[in-house]
Structure 1
C-alpha cells in the first residue's frame, strides 16, 4: 500500500521485474482486504496512508497472512521501528539510512 502514485509505480515496477505479480493499492482499507483476494507472498506498507495508519493496516494483515511485511516510509524514529516490528514487519524491511 502506498498513497503516492510515483512511489507506488516504482515499487510495482521493481517487484514486477523481480517476477512478482503485483496488486498495488493506495488506501489502507483496500490493503486490509488484500489477503482474502490475492493471498500475497510479500506485503509492502506505507505508514502514512490517508485513511488508516499503516501500522494498523499491517496488524490486520498479519492476523490473516504470514507473508513478510516491509514498510516503505520516511519515518526513521526508533519508536517507529519498534512499532513496525510489533505489528509484524520483517526485520529486513526496517533499516535506516543515515
Structure 2
C-alpha cells in the first residue's frame, strides 16, 4: 500500500553534513545540521503550478522553500535556510575555524 505523502499542512526535515580538511596541518573536522520545515496547507493549484514549471523536479525531495510560489506557505523553519539549500554556513564556518 502506497501512502500519499506531501508537504501541505505537514513538515519535512533535511540533514546536511560538512567535512573540512586543512591540507597544511592534516586536521579534518566534520559535523552535521538538521533543519525542520513546517508548512501551512498548500492549495492544489500552487502544487500544480510548481510541477508544471518543473524546477521542483530537479531538487532533492522537490523541496524548494525559497521559491516565490511556496514561500507564503512555509509556516516555520527551525534552523537555517542555507542548510536546506545545500550548505550550512554556520557549521562550515565553525569547522574552518577549528582546523586553522
What is the TM-score when the length of structure 2 is the normalising length?
0.27
What is the TM-score when the length of structure 1 is the normalising length?
0.27
Answer with 1 or 2: which has the greater Rg: 2
Greater per-residue strand proportion: 2
